């Protein structure tokens, strides 16, 4: 388990380091203004669909279904054709009516800004069909306990964007966004290429591609499996959509605030996503195939033991990250972004947003573990209900807090929805099962370690505070 977790974590770490370097260059080149907002809008729309349709719901439903299929190659080929066709149609629609798609995610933009942004939205959206194909091959690799390719391939997107920024030096803001948009598409092509290469290198090409040859003659054999997959998939879309819908609404509501608000949310969320991806997502990806197999074999005891080991590993890492991120938020933003067009005011505004995000790191991260239990048991409908309550709480608090707190209020609303979602997930998992995991000597160790770590960070903050000021 830990080997897979560390493989994922290291790959994600490399990617996020490159991602932060990319953001540093982007902040220096564009700052926090209308053109940075436009690029983040253009890139957010395909990413929204990617996280809901491709990476989230698809992976969590496909692995259990693939494990139980009697005709895996034909089943996987049938699913790929169905979903890739739908996604390709969506991409074509966005390219035919890019202004409509842009208006849907940034209603607060005026007509002139919508017109400018729509061109970039159309280019960026071609990333979606590419990354779905990446996700499909990645899921097959994960089932065979190969995680390295997927973990490290994301770095290719960041490398592509860094090269785009390098090539667009001394260009206008509009041209820089063009370079970045095409860099997104090139990054998707590179990610797809390395996954196909890994499939062939590991001898999985018969599973990944063999089913296409027999799809016409044997598709009837996977008809029931496909129906069952679809039945589980659509609730899973909604179950995975809460953080993505919150991010969509963040952008929607922030477009009504002062210029730069979308960028403040983006930069702060990038930092928040680092420990979430590095620890929580890496752990969830690593243990899900094993949990799904234990549940399939009706071995609940082993599944719970496996989950408990992952829980405490993750709890210590997330607690340290949440404390460190909150206390040192100003120092982190200052170190990473305050240069070029990104000024002191931008640092202060982004700091407030980051602190609100960091409060919710622990519930957001730990929830990902317990959601695996629901998905492995094919309880997607129950997860969807949890997502509904979570999203409703976000909307309520976002509308309440946006006026007095601005962009930081939107971040706090997302955090509150995370606590709501976590508590409901624990209820679905079983409060008794959770207490059996939590009530042990490690809980005391976690509390003591948290207090000591907080004191150390406060001393460190005082030490470096004078230098920054």
Q: How far is CA 160 from the centre of its chain?
A: 19
pLDDT tens readout for residues 202-216:
888 887 787 777 777
Sign (positive or negative) of CA dihedral 156, 138, 3, 286: positive
Q: pLDDT: is 362 or 252 the higher one?
A: 362
* Alpha-carbon gap, residue 312 to 318, rounded angstroms: 10
Q: Which of 108-117, 171-180, 326-335 is predicted least confidently?
A: 108-117
| pTM score | 0.72
Q: Mean pLDDT, to the nearest integer, of 417-426? A: 93
Measured between alpha carbons, how far is residue 316 from residues 125, 306, 445 in Å?
A: 38, 16, 9
Other Cβ atoms closer than 10 A to 167:
12
Q: What is the pLDDT of residue 250?
A: 78
Q: What share of the chain is helix, strand, coil (3-state, %, to 5)?
A: 90, 0, 10
DSSP code of residue 172: -
**For residue 298, with 0-12 CB atoms within 10 Å meaning exposed, 13-18 middle and 19 or more buried, which class applies?**
exposed
Mean pLDDT calculated for residue range 258-281:
85
| C-alpha span between 338 and 347 (Å, rounded) | 6
- 411, 356 contact by CB (below 8 A): yes
Separation between Cα atoms, residue 312 and residue 369, nearest integer Å = 11
The pLDDT, as a whole number, for residue 190 is 94
Give residue 352's pLDDT band: very low, low, confident or very high (50, 70, 90). very high
Residue 418 has pLDDT above 70, yes or no: yes
299: left (phi over 0), alpha (psi -120 to 50) or beta: beta
Q: What is the pLDDT of residue 194?
A: 94
Residue 78 has pLDDT above 80, yes or no: yes
Picking from 339, 355, 338, 450, the residue whose alpha carbon sits closest to that of residue 408 is 355
pLDDT (tens digit per residue) in 170-191: 888 888 888 999 999 999 999 9
Task: State yes or no: pLDDT of 130 exceeds 70.
Answer: yes
pLDDT for 52: 61
Q: Indicate the average pLDDT of the chain.
A: 83
Residue ranges covered by each domain of the chain: 1-240, 241-469
């Amino acid at each position: 388990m830990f080997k897979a977790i560390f493989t994922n974590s290291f790959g994600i770490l490399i990617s996020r380091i490159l991602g932060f370097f990319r953001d540093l260059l982007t902040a220096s080149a564009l700052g926090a203004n209308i053109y940075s907002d436009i690029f983040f809008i253009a890139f957010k729309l395909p990413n929204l669909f990617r996280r809901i349709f491709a990476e989230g719901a698809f992976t969590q439903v496909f692995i259990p279904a693939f494990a139980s299929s009697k005709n895996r190659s034909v089943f996987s080929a049938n699913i790929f054709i169905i979903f890739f066709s739908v996604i390709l149609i969506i991409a074509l629609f966005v390219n035919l009516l890019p202004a409509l798609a842009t208006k849907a995610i940034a209603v607060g933009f005026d007509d002139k800004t919508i017109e400018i942004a729509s061109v970039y939205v159309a280019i960026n959206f071609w990333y979606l069909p590419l990354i779905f194909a990446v996700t499909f091959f990645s899921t097959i690799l994960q089932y065979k306990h190969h995680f390295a390719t997927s973990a490290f391939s994301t770095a290719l997107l960041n490398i592509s964007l860094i090269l785009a920024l390098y090539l667009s030096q001394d260009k206008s803001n509009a041209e820089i966004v063009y370079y970045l948009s095409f860099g997104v598409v090139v990054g998707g092509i590179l990610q797809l290429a390395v996954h196909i290469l890994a499939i062939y290198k590991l001898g999985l090409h018969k599973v990944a591609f063999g089913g296409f040859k027999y799809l016409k003659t044997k598709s009837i054999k996977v008809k029931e499996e496909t129906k069952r997959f679809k039945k589980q998939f659509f609730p899973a879309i909604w179950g995975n959509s809460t953080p993505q819908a919150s991010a969509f609404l963040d952008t929607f509501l922030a477009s009504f605030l002062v210029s730069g608000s979308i960028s403040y949310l983006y930069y702060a969320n990038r930092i928040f996503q680092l420990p979430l991806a590095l620890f929580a997502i890496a752990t969830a990806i690593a243990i899900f195939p094993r949990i799904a197999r234990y549940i399939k074999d009706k071995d609940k005891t082993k599944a719970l033991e496996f989950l408990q080991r992952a829980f405490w590993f993750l709890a210590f890492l997330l607690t340290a990250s949440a404390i460190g991120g909150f206390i040192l938020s100003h120092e982190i933003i200052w170190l990473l972004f305050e240069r070029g067009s990104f000024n002191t005011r931008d640092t202060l505004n982004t700091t407030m947003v980051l602190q609100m995000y960091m409060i919710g790191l622990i519930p957001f991260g730990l929830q990902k573990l317990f959601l695996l239990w629901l998905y492995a048991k094919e309880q997607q409908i129950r997860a969807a209900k949890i997502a509904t309550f979570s999203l409703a709480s976000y909307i309520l608090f976002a509308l309440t807090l946006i006026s007095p707190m601005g962009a930081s209020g939107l971040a706090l609303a997302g955090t509150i929805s995370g606590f709501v979602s976590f508590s409901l997930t624990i209820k679905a998992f079983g409060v008794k099962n959770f207490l059996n995991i939590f009530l042990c000597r490690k809980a005391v160790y976690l509390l003591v370690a948290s207090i000591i770590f907080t004191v150390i960070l406060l001393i460190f903050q005082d030490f470096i505070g004078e230098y920054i000021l």
